[in-house]
C-alpha cells in the first residue's frame, strides 16, 4: 500500500515537475559542473543535490525544519557556510591546472559538492515545509508521506538537472574538440563556471529569510 493516496500523488506529480523545470540554483550548479568538468561530474552533482533534498525532506518530516524557521541564527549560520563553500568552489575552479581532455573534478567530489551546496541552503527546508504539507494527509503516517513525496521530487530534480549537466558537458567537449584553441576554451569555461558559482554565492548571501 502506498503511503500517499494515488489521487494526491496524481496532483503532486505535475506540481513537482513544474518546480523541477523552473531554473534555479541547483540547475545552475549542474550547468556549471558540466561546463567545468564534463557530464559525469554533472550527473554526480545532480545526485548529490537529490540526496541533500531527501535529507531536507526527512528533517522537515521529523519537525526539525521548524527549528531552522524559528531560530534566525541557525538559518544565518547555515546560509553563510553555503556562501563560503560556493566561493571556495569558484576560486578552486579558477586556480585548477587542467588539460583540455581531462575532467578537473572527480565524480565523487562532484557528488559531495552537490550535497554540501544543497544542505547549506536553509531555504530549501523552508520550501519543503511550505510545499510538501499541502499534499500530506494527517490521518496517515506523516514521515512516510514526506519521504515518499520527497523522493518523487528529488528523482524528478535529479533527472532534469542531470540532463542540463549532460548538455553542458557535451557542448563543452564539442567546443574543445572542434577548435585548435582548446586550452583557451578550457580557461574560458573555467571562468564561466567560476562566475556561476560566484553568482550562486551572491544570491545566497543577499537572500532574505522570508
Angle at 82 between CA 200 and CA 30, to 5 degrees: 45
**For range 122-127, the mean pLDDT:** 75
Q: Choose the most confident range, by mean pLDDT, from 43-52, 71-80, 98-107, 141-150.
A: 43-52
pLDDT at position 101 is 44
Share of the chain above pLDDT 70, in %: 81
Q: Are 75 and 210 in contact (CB under 8 A)?
A: no
pLDDT at position 51 is 95
pLDDT tens profile 66-118: 666 667 676 677 778 878 888 887 887 777 655 444 445 788 889 999 998 88
Q: Are 23 and 88 in contact (CB under 8 A)?
A: no
Closest-CA residue to 114 (of 28, 16, 208): 28
Global confidence as pTM: 0.75
Q: What is the mean pLDDT of the chain?
A: 79
Amino acid at each position: 500500500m502506498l503511503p500517499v493516496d494515488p489521487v494526491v500523488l496524481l496532483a503532486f506529480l505535475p506540481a513537482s515537475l513544474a518546480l523541477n523545470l523552473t531554473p534555479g540554483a541547483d540547475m545552475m550548479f549542474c550547468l556549471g559542473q558540466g561546463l567545468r568538468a564534463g557530464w559525469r561530474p554533472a550527473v554526480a552533482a545532480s545526485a548529490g543535490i537529490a540526496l541533500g533534498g531527501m535529507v531536507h525532506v526527512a528533517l522537515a518530516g521529523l519537525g526539525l525544519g521548524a527549528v531552522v524557521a524559528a531560530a534566525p541564527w541557525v538559518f544565518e549560520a547555515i546560509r553563510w557556510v553555503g556562501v563560503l563553500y560556493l566561493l571556495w568552489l569558484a576560486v578552486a575552479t579558477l586556480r585548477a591546472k587542467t588539460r583540455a581532455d581531462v575532467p578537473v573534478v572527480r565524480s565523487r567530489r562532484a557528488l559531495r559538492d552537490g550535497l554540501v551546496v544543497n544542505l547549506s541552503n536553509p531555504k530549501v527546508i523552508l520550501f519543503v515545509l511550505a510545499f510538501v504539507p499541502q499534499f500530506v494527509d494527517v490521518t496517515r503516517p506523516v514521515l512516510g508521506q514526506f519521504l515518499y513525496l520527497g523522493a518523487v521530487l528529488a528523482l524528478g530534480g535529479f533527472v532534469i538537472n542531470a540532463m542540463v549537466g549532460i548538455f553542458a558537458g557535451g557542448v563543452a567537449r564539442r567546443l574543445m574538440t572542434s577548435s585548435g584553441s582548446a586550452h583557451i576554451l578550457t580557461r574560458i569555461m573555467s571562468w564561466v563556471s567560476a562566475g556561476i558559482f560566484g553568482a550562486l554565492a551572491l544570491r545566497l548571501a543577499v537572500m532574505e529569510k522570508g
